[in-house]
Structure 1
Amino acid sequence: MALTSDASGVYPIAPTPFLDDGRIDTAAIDRLTDFYLGCGATGITVLGQLGEAPKLEHAESVDVARRMIQRASRLPVIVGVSAPGFAAMRALTRDVMDAGAAGVMIAPPNTLRTDDQIVSYYRQAAQAIGEDVPFVLQDYPLTFSVQMTPGVIRSIVQDNPSCVMLKHEDWPGLEKISTLRAWEREGAMRHIAILTGNNGLFLDYEMERGADGANTGYAFPDMLVDLVRLSRAGQREEAHDLFDAHLPLLRYEQQPGIGLTVRKYLLYRRGLLGSPTLRQPFAPLTAATKAEVEHLLGRLARHDTRAQL
């Protein structure tokens, strides 16, 4: 089930579940996967930026990916393979593709400074993992400190036929989506899928600008599924009403530093994780933060019963 440029819908970013002692919680991986299958996800991404991939050993990464791929056999699974060097990237890519992954996601290292360096890096990365392996280009300057202009993205896409999706997480980035889609209409760039991240903070208007869906890890991916469906059906106001109800919690969960801790707590409260813990090092939520999250859940529950936990 190879990833293609026709990908669309919602590809939730799966967290890596851990037990309280730091071991991987395989039962929670199964629960999460079943939930994604049941809520209308069209794909899954594992070992993404917030999947705590750097805290896993190679064998653990392969085991986590393989378990989710096997459990979600009817959905394409993308695996994050970003690494400081191409040897580690190649090894993980080979193992997860052998396990049945649909493609891989590659983020830029923060050492890249110029447009030429960025374009060259992705050309070399595609060659390193194998030019037959579909890959997702992750554009997330807030975290990686690498600024990709629309022209750089076009160059990467045109240079590498195996680049089939852009994970768009620039901020602000609505004009970037419009520019890329305009180039496609003009024939100046081949079509690729554009799925957006940033916890869905701008998904309402990103869909209207031409995005194909979401590739992010908000603790209510079932809401993202509904939002994408409403937007594609032309039910604009209904889509915005749903988005507006979730926006305070989306915003809170997106905070740098504690965002993943909040997300895991919410997934734990939804019964999808057996423990909200992260693998060390991490900072646990304070009592004040938990109280604020509970307050936000209560307010959201007035508009969306899925928050009545």
Structure 2
Amino acid sequence: MTAPTVRGGREDVPGGPVRELLTPRETALGGSTVVRRLLPNLGRRMVGAWCFVDHYGPDDIADEPGMQVPPHPHMGLQTVSWLHEGSVLHRDSLGSLQTVRPRELGLMTSGRAISHSEESPRDHAPLLLGAQLWVALPDAHRHTAPAFEHHTDLPTVAAAGLHATVILGSLDGATSPGTTYSPLVGADLTLREGTRQRLPLQPDFEYAALAMTGLTEVDGVRLEAGSMLYLGSGRRELPLHALADGSVLLLGGEPFEEKLVMWWNFVGRSSEEIAEARADWMDGSRFGEVHGYDGARLAAPVLPPVPLKPRGRVR
């Protein structure tokens, strides 16, 4: 049974820098893919508007089907697909059909309602490595029309031993073409072994760093691939030291002011809204249909028979 949670609000955002190492939880995603779930976490539920972070791979899928996630619904959020190895075929109820490849941005805005599937193409690369992230939509925009964007030409920032690709938002003057609805940033930092750099940050943002590959010290904390460090706010720069060739995802944004109810694939504001969304998905209304996926769509889990209780940003 999937338990609903309430997250958001600013009262639990540290007023200055911190170093909280988040422990991942392994869960099966679809097909042969097992992910390391870092948000929501027992100790930290959001970083800015980022409310969900999965890291997966590197997986050897040469003789496996790879990622196979059947059609499922979303509302109240954006999904961000980010790959280092392999490719993912995206289909959605708008009729989108797009293969997302390494360092390309696949950005889906669910708005009021959308459904989609994700799968490794039939002829796929032998390795799969990437991250799946969600961005919560603020109340003023969460009922917007659904949309899908695919951006292959993303801006970069470079320094000695460091190459940064701006996925969403802005970093050091470079701005992604991806649509955002709140002040945030997502950037992929590639670091050469031995590199020491200090990355400029915005003090009114809170940040976290997810190690994608390699071994990196972030503000003096050693991060292995698949681990994430919550950094708090009040920072103007971030010290980085690459102990081996590798890459780090930097995620940040203004602390999300609203409290959210997040259950299964839905982000809402009340248990009644979540229950309505579940019923609409199960009876085939509102979320549309994904055409072309070879298999049945996902059924929603059963809602728990307990009232929702606010828990804020941290437990």
TM-score (norm 1): 0.30
Q: Higher helix share goes to which structure?
A: 1
Q: Higher strand share goes to which structure?
A: 2
TM-score (norm 2): 0.30
Greater RCO, 1 or 2 (C-alpha within 8 Å, sep 6+): 2
